[in-house]
Chain A
Amino acid sequence: MTTDVTATAVPARQSVRRAGLWIPAALLPLTLLSGLLVGYTGISPRQLWACLWGTASPELSLIIWQIRLPRLIVAALCGAGLALSGAALQALTHNPLADPGILGINAGAGFSVMVYLSYFTALHLNGLFWQPVFALAGGLISAGLLWVLARRQGRLDPQLLILAGIGLAAFFSALMLIMGSNMENSSYQLVARWLAGNLWGSSWYHVCVLWPWLLLLVPLLLAQSRAMDVLALGALQAQALGLAVNRERIKLLFLSVALASVCISVCGGISFIGLAAPHIARRLSATPRQAHRLPATLLWGALLLPAADTLGRSLPWELEIPAGIVVAILAAPYFLYLLRRRLSF
């Protein structure tokens, strides 16, 4: 008798629930395909087909296999990682507007890259290796500072976390300004490009750097989905339901920071993906349960960044805009609109 009740109402909810998943799942192949075709050198579908069979010209093969494909994969991986990082941070802080950039991780990594460009010239020959290492170290150092600053009576305090993050971001940005004003122009431009979030020059090497980390961190985060659901009821209720709240918050902070640092070390200071992807997933799924929402968030992230990058490459006037800026230009007005709508309740 009880099953009848559940059986009647479920289908409607489930079809909505799946919209959050199947829309990005359907758009992802399309985005990747257009990402391969569009760019400075236009490539026709037939040429791509020839490439697949190895009958295209070497130049085209090089563009497809060594430039565009790894770049798209890096974009998709970073998008997914940043999106999940944002989702974890939002669950941790009970704040749907939290973004990994707010924790000062971008700024810390950016400062570290700047130090690398200014003082470690001996390592520049192997920049492919060292630049992400420095970015990662910078991100982790600011995360460590955050860890020290955001504890009250031995427990991680979500409100303090946000305030400490904003403080750190301002501090590192100030240091970058000071250093930047005394820096050689070409190096400074490199840093500026990096901060804006740039996928230019992404290679298979970066793909290889990224995927083992994501393979480790993403399942660890997905395993937290049930605890995140309970945490969403408020800290006190979560504890009453048997969740070790402080330990769970530490886990979420660690996963969020690790995912963001790894991705940022490769793709630069891209913000907004961590805000936008979880937000879209939230609006398009009927249930707030993270077991459904996190996979949708991952897919939206993996879709948005390659799409933004492709858009930035396919502009007329031979103008190329870094992916991070495309994301910001498109996402910022959307969020201002949302904020205003939220206030007008």
Chain B
Amino acid sequence: MSVSISQLSSTHLSAGYPGRTILQDLSLDLPAGQISALIGANGSGKSTLLKTLAGLLPVQGGSICLNGKDISRLSTRDLARQLALLPQDSSSPEGLCVRELVSLGRFPYRQRFGGLSADDQAVINRSLQQTGLLDLAQTDLAELSGGQRQRAWIAMALAQQTGLLFLDEPTTYLDIAHQLEVLQLLRQLNQASGITIVMVLHDLNQAVQFSDYLIALKSGRIYDSGSSKQLLTPDLVQAVFGVAAVILPHPVTGVPVCLPYAPKPAAVAGSGPGTA
């Protein structure tokens, strides 16, 4: 069973925390069935945008439309059946095994009483299979490597059977091999089922390599958005991050690569007299 392709858009959206508006007049249309990456400097509102689009923060102005419906009209539970989100900092209780975590993804579908249905079990098994965790299903989360653990969280989100998957910095705390492992998994999932993925990424090069669409945020507004391979220019990096950079094609993949540099300091400051 494949997930239906989901449409999500916002018009003149403003949002943030009570007494503090972070996002201003933000209109966007997420390309359905593709991977979008949110990029921007610290405090530019990437996480806030992700949480607001997922219905986790109240909308202060404008509207968000999911498959033709205003999300503020949907119950938390209905929303969780259409959109899954993995926040940056989730805690996993001590002793929870992979399968137990993934089964929590069935929460929005379950009745108050009774065990997991055969259908639930089938979905859980498929999520474990898609993330390559079948052999580790009974393993304690604490015993997994960072990459495996992130895969387990992704499996939980898949068990929600949603058309949209949001991830807030899915690669933080991971070493480079595990970062690529997770991003490649997301790419595979997107290609296999057409699930729309939106993620906040810090690494510009990974964002370009693993997404179809880039949304660059600056001070709570969209600075620019467009196809990943075309959007990344020295001007964009300068405007969004305030950093000078050159963009070169990757020698192997041909994907644009950003090489930021700091202008050479005028003089080396503060070295002591002599080297004794």
Chain A residues packing against B (C-beta within 8 Å): 2, 5-6, 9-10, 13, 94, 153, 223, 226, 229-230, 232-234, 236-237, 239-244, 282, 285-289
Supplied contacts A13-B138, A237-B85, A242-B107, 8 more A-B pairs, CB within 8 Å: A5-B137, A223-B112, A229-B93, A230-B104, A236-B89, A239-B76, A241-B108, A242-B108
Of A234, A242, A288, which one neighbours B96 at CB under 8 angstroms? Answer: A288
Q: Which residue of A lies closest to B166 (CB)?
A: A240
Question: What A residues does B128 contact at CB under 8 A?
Answer: 2
Partner of B93, one of A153, A232, A242, A286: A232
Q: At the interface, yes or no: B54 with Cβ under 8 Å from chain A?
A: yes
In the complex the two chains form, what is the Cα distance from A40 to B177 in whole Å? 70
B95: chain A residues within 8 A (beta carbon): 285-288
Q: Contacts A229-B104, A236-B56, A240-B84 given: A2-B134 contact, CB under 8 Å? A: yes
A285 vs B100: C-alpha distance when bound (angstroms): 14
Closest to B78 in A: A242
Is the C-beta of B23 less than 8 angstroms from some C-beta in chain A? no
Number of chain B residues close to chain A: CB under 8 A = 41
CB under 8 Å from chain A, chain B span 71-104: 75-81, 84-87, 89-97, 99-100, 104
Q: Mark B114-126, 1 if CB is under 8 A from A, else 0.
A: 0000000000010
A242 contact from B76, B100, B112, B137, Cβ within 8 A: B76
A241-B87 contact given A226-B112, A288-B94, CB 8 Å threshold: no
Interface status of B36 (Cβ within 8 A of chain A): no
B261 part of interface (Cβ distance < 8 Å)? no
Asked if B129 is at the interface (CB within 8 A of a chain A CB), the reply is yes
Q: Is the CB of B138 within 8 A of A243?
A: no
| Contact A244–B90 (Cβ < 8 Å) | no
Number of A-B contacts (CB under 8 A): 89
Asked if B173 is an interface residue, CB under 8 A from chain A, the answer is no
| Given A5-B134, A230-B104, A241-B80, A223:B113 Cβ within 8 A | yes
Cβ A153 vs Cβ B18 within 8 A = yes
Q: Do A5 and B135 touch (CB < 8 A)?
A: yes
Pick the residue among A2, A232, A287 that contacts B91 (CB under 8 A).
A232
Chain B residues whose CB sits within 8 angstroms of the CB of A6 once the complex forms:
99, 137-138
Q: How far is the CB of B76 from chain A (nearest CB, A)?
A: 5
Q: From residue A245, how far is it (CB to closest CB) to chain B in Å?
A: 8
Q: In the complex the two chains form, is B90's CB within 8 Å of A234's CB?
A: yes
Closest to A8 in B: B138
B104 and A287 contact, CB distance less than 8 A: no
* B residues less than 8 Å from A10 (CB atoms): 138
- Shortest A132–chain B CB gap in Å is 32
**Residues in B whose Cβ lies below 8 Å from that of A236:** 51, 56, 85, 87, 89-90
Q: What residue of chain B has the Cβ atom nearest to residue A224's Cβ?
A: B112
Partner of A226, one of B56, B78, B107: B107
- Contact between A240 and B107, CB atoms less than 8 A apart: no
Some 21 contacts from A to B, beta carbons below 8 A apart, are A2-B125, A2-B134, A5-B134, A9-B137, A223-B112, A226-B110, A226-B112, A232-B93, A233-B91, A233-B92, A233-B93, A236-B85, A236-B89, A237-B86, A240-B56, A240-B85, A242-B76, A242-B78, A242-B79, A242-B107, A282-B94
* Bound: A2/B126 CA distance, A: 9
Task: For the complex, give the distance between the alpha carbons of A6 and B139 in Å.
Answer: 10
A237 to B137, CA, bound (A): 21
Residues of B within 8 A of A9 (CB): 137-138
The contact of A234 among B81, B89, B97, by CB within 8 Å, is B89
Q: A13 to B78, alpha carbons, bound, how many Å? A: 34
Decide yes or no whether B171 CB sits under 8 A from chain A: no
Contact A239 to B113, CB < 8 A, known contacts A6-B137, A233-B90: no
B100 touches A287 (CB 8 A): yes
Please report the C-alpha to C-alpha distance between residue A241 and residue B134 in the assembled complex, in whole angstroms: 22
| A97 and B51 alpha carbons, distance in the complex (Å) | 31
Residues of A within 8 A of B108 (CB): 241-242
B163 sits at the interface (CB 8 A): no
Q: Does B105 contact A (CB under 8 A)?
A: yes
B160 within 8 A of A: yes
Q: Determine the residue in chain B with the shortest Cβ distance to A17.
A: B95
Nearest CB in chain B: distance from A152 CB, A: 9
Closest CB in chain A relative to B100 CB, distance in Å? 6
